[in-house]
Amino acid sequence: SSLLLMSGVVVTVGLCRRLARRRLRSRPQLFAFLVEMFSTFQICACTNELSLLGNVEPKPHTALTLTYGFTVLHGLTLTGSTCNPCATLQPMCDGGTSLRMGGLKIAAQFVAAVLARVFMHFIWSLEMAEPHLGALSQGCSDPMQTTEVQAFCIELLFSVVFQLAVLRAESVNPKYRVHLIALLITMLVYAGGNLTGAIFNPALAFSLHADCFYDNFFSYLRVYWMAPSLGKFLIFMHL
* DSSP symbols for 15-40: HHHHHHHHH-TT-HHHHHHHHHHHHH
What is the model's pLDDT at position 239? Answer: 60
pLDDT at 208 over 90: yes
Taking residues 174-181, what's their average pLDDT? 92
Q: How far is CA 152 from CA 40, 197, 218, 225, in A?
A: 23, 12, 12, 10
Q: Which of 29-38, 127-136, 144-153, 201-210 has the lowest mean pLDDT?
A: 127-136
Residue 151 and residue 196 in contact, taking contact as beta carbons nearer than 8 Å: yes
What is the model's pLDDT at position 106? Answer: 96
Count of structural domains, the chain: 1
Q: Which CATH number goes with the domain that contains 95?
A: 1.20.1080.10
Taking residues 114-121, what's their average pLDDT? 95
Q: pTM of the prediction?
A: 0.93
Kindly state the DSSP code that residue 132 receives in the 8-state scheme. G
E strands along the chain, which residues? Answer: none
Residue type, 150: Q
Taking residues 109-138, what's their average pLDDT? 88
Taking residues 178-186, what's their average pLDDT? 95
What is the model's pLDDT at position 96? Answer: 76
